[in-house]
Amino acid sequence: ESKPNESIQKVELGQKSGQNVFLFTIQKDAKFLGIIPIKMEIKREVNAETQTIKEERPWWSFLVFG
C-alpha cells in the first residue's frame, strides 16, 4: 500500500537467490531541506515467500522531509 505522497511507478516480478520477489519503483513528493519541493525515487523489494521488505533510497534522503 502506498502512502498519500507516494505513487507506484513500476512493478516487476523477479527472482533473487531462487525466491520470487516483487520490485517496486516509487516516486515520493518531499521537500529537500524542508523547503525545496522534489520528487524522490525509492526502490522497494518484497520477498513473496518470506514477506521481508528491503528499501533503497538515495544517499541524500536524510536531508529530505515529508
Q: Among 28, 25, 29, which Cα is nearest to 10's?
A: 25
Question: What are the tens digits of pLDDT across the range 3-29?
Answer: 678 899 999 999 988 899 999 999 999
Mean pLDDT for the chain overall: 91
Q: How far apart are the first and last CA of the chain?
A: 17
pLDDT in tens, 25-41: 999 999 999 999 999 99
**The pLDDT value given to residue 1:** 55
Q: Which pLDDT score, from 0 to 100, does residue 43 have?
A: 96
